[in-house]
């Protein structure tokens, strides 16, 4: 049997942003602390703007072709 005798498995993890301990179940599920989640959301918004210029779609170089 293993009623309280075995190792206690706790839902703990490190925040992926600051590396701090996550102790709440919701934070562990998200992998980030609530404060860092706010910061990360803001950073994602900024990164999303940059991603617009970093797509996998081929960029048409028509402007350069016609300029040549």
Least Å distance between CB 50 and Zn ion? Answer: 22
Of 23 and 47, the one with the shorter C-beta distance to Zn ion is 23
Say how far apart CA 9 and CA 32 lie, in whole Å: 19
Q: Is 21 helix (H, G, I), strand (E, B) or coil?
A: strand
Least Å distance between CB 41 and Zn ion? Answer: 13
The footprint of Zn ion (CB under 5 A) covers: 15, 17-18, 20, 33, 36
Least Å distance between CB 35 and Zn ion? Answer: 6
Provide the Cα torsion 56, 31, 13, 15; round to 10°: 80
């Amino acid at each position: 049997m293993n009623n309280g005798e075995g190792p206690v498995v706790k839902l703990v993890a490190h925040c992926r942003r600051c590396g701090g301990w996550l102790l709440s179940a919701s934070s562990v599920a998200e992998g980030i602390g609530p404060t860092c989640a706010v910061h990360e959301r803001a950073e994602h918004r900024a990164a999303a703007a940059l991603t617009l210029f970093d797509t996998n779609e081929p960029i048409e170089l028509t402007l350069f072709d016609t300029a040549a």
